[in-house]
Every structure is written in structure tokens, then in C-alpha cells.
Amino acid sequence: MFTRTESFREFIRFYPVVSMIAAIHVVLYLFTILPVFPNYWFFENLSGVNLYIMEGEFWRLITPIFMHSGFSHMLFNSFSLILFGPPLERLLGGGRFLLVYLVSGFIANAATLLLEPLTYTHVGSSGAIFGLFGFYLAMILFRKHLLSKQNSQIILTLCAISLIMTFLEPNINITAHIFGLLGGFLLGAVPYYKKMDLTSTVKGVSSWAKGRKPLPPVKIFIWGFIILAAIIGMIARF
């Protein structure tokens, strides 16, 4: 499921949205380092600065998702996207995948605005990528038939390691990681893609069983409240 065997051309054809986002990462990074561009302009106008958002620059709730602070930052997030994004793009379709990715990133940045100081500045797609993790977790919890046991174990292990590293590594936007994960989880729990035909999707993901009842909205909100309470409790300790 997470092993890529496609050629470069096949990858772009099969996963156009993942390819587009990764390309934007690279292009914006090049814009910030090449001397032919006023590289300071991109960070000044596209990074997430809570004070500027409060003053009405609301595009900063989205644009930081595509900006990165250095080559290793850009490379790691792009690699994570290329590794974990394709199965979900095949599962959801390009439009729905992009919606999950952007909404997760938006939730992460909105939480950063609400919980971090006005002087806080941030860039990076980690919140949106954690949203993908959250979506997978919702699948494991509520739609086990979509993932093999092996792939579920891989996701749980990687998610646990990523969360641990969130609290150990310096200069990490903990709020964005946690709330991006929560946003993706809630999006994954909503059965808005229940009618899709997945009979020809990637290995490890089977077709939807006909007549399967979607998760009741009440359970979605209960789980969301429990996770939100736990997250706020963890953040309060740091």
C-alpha cells in the first residue's frame, strides 16, 4: 500500500494532486533560495504570522501549508506526502483528497492562531500531513475493512512515532500537529465518500461493502470530544 512501484510518469498520472502539492513545495522552496527572486517576499507574505492573520490576512491560514523553512524541512514533508498521500488519493479521488489535505492544514493553522501567541510564526505542511494520519486512524477505527491488518499496524506504529517525536524535537509546532491529526480523524469519520466504488484501488484497500451502515454523527462527535479533551490536556503540560 505504501510501497511505490510506479515510474515517475505513472506516479504523476495516477496521483496528480499529490504530485502537484509536492511540486509546489519544491517551487516555493526554490523561490526562497534563488537570487533571481526577492526570496524575503515569500516568507513575509505567505508564512503564518498570527498577528497578521488577526489583522485580516486570512490567506495565511492556508499558504503556510506549502512553505518550508529549509531544504531538509521541505524534503521530509514532501517525502511523507509522497509516501502516505497516494493511497488516500486513490481512495477518495483527487478533489476529496485535496479537500481533506487543505481542511486538515487549515484546522492546524487555525488552532495555532487561537492557542499560540500573536507573535508566533510558522511554516510547513506537517499539520496537513498529520491530517492524513488522522484520516487513516479513523479508517482503522471505524472502517477496518478498508485496510489490511499489516497496513493498519504500519500506520499505528508510524503515527505513534510521529506523535512522540512531536514532543521531543525542538522548534515543532505541537499545536498544528495535534489539531491536524484531530481534523483528519474527524474528516475520516464522516461517511461522505461512502458511495464510491473502490474495486480497482490499490492493494490493501478493498471495495466498500454494500449496505454497510455509516458511522452515526453522534459517535463522531463523542470521539472527537474525547480526543480534543485529551489533546488540550497534553498541550497544557508543555
Q: Looking at the annotation, which residues are catalytic?
A: 126, 177
| Cβ–Cβ < 8 Å for 145, 95 | no
User: 51-83: string of b/e by CB count within 10 Å (b at 16+)?
Assistant: ebbeeeeeebbebbbbbbbeeebbebbbebbbb
**Chain Cα centroid distance, residue 187:** 11
Question: Per-residue DSSP letters for 148-216?
Answer: -HHHHHHHHHHHHHHHHHHHHSTT--HHHHHHHHHHHHHHHHS-TTTT---TTS-TT--PPPTTPPPPP
